[in-house]
Structure 1
Amino acid sequence: MKKRQLNIFTVVFIAIIAYFSYIAINQQMYISNVSSEYQIAQQKYDKVMQENQKLKAEKDALQNPKYIEKIARDELGMTKKGEIPYVASDK
């Protein structure tokens, strides 16, 4: 009778240990997944913040008339009144 109680106690104890081990492993996997998702989100956030800084700098530059003139001349090929545009021919 004593040996049977010992076996039941051992089986119950092993079952409890197995259950808590299963819970701990699942929690660790969940924490690992959340951590990797957090890192991905943090990288996206950093990238967006860098883009935001570039856009703010460009916005500030667009307030400067000399920058606007440079853009108009370089990208749009505009000239001031009385200037003759020079167009290079690449042969």
Structure 2
Amino acid sequence: MESRKKRRSFNYFALVMVFVIGYFAFRLVGQQVHLQQIAEDQAVADARLAAAQAENEALKQEKANLQDLSYVEKIAREELGMTRQGELPYTEAGK
């Protein structure tokens, strides 16, 4: 009867396959984490680019406005308190 019993041997092929599948699963998860980080970095870079482009447009508009003498006069009067020759500056008492 003992000859009929099949002796169980260790299945090395199954062990190797488990390790191979585990290795590729580990690599896949690592790549997904890396791609997620790259996507987040891309979103931050896109936001910074949009902000820089908006600031650039505002600066271009300011540069164009500075070519207009009436705008320059307005800024000089409002922000710097300058007046034309012969004018008296008006200031509020509360300031």
**TM-score, length of structure 1 as denominator length:** 0.88
Identity of aligned residues (%): 37
1:40 aligns with 2:55: no
Q: CA separation in 2, counterparts of 1:86 and 1:66?
A: 20
Aligned-residue CA RMSD in angstroms?
2.0
Any idea what SS the aligned residue of 2:67 has? coil
**Alpha-carbon distance change, 10 to 3 in structure 1, aligned in 2, over 3 angstroms:** farther
Q: CA separation in 2, counterparts of 1:82 and 1:25?
A: 77
1:27 aligns with 2:31: yes
Q: CA separation in 2, counterparts of 1:26 and 1:36?
A: 16
Q: Which has the larger radius of gyration?
A: 2
Task: Determine the structure 1 residue equivalent to 2:18.
Answer: 14
Question: Offset at 1:83?
Answer: 1.6
Q: CA separation in 1, counterparts of 2:67 and 2:84?
A: 19
Question: Offset at 1:15?
Answer: 0.8
The structure richer in helix per residue is: 1
Q: CA separation in 1, counterparts of 2:77 and 2:62?
A: 17
| Residues paired across the two proteins, number | 90
Q: CA separation in 2, counterparts of 1:57 and 1:2?
A: 87
Q: CA separation in 2, counterparts of 1:2 and 1:37?
A: 57
**Alpha-carbon distance change, 2 to 50 in structure 1, aligned in 2, over 3 angstroms:** farther
Aligned amino acid, residue 87 of structure 2: E
Pick the aligned partner of 2:9 from 4, 20, 31.
Answer: 4
Structure 1 stretches of 4+ moved >2 Å: 1-5
Give unmatched runs, 5+ long, in structure 1. Answer: none
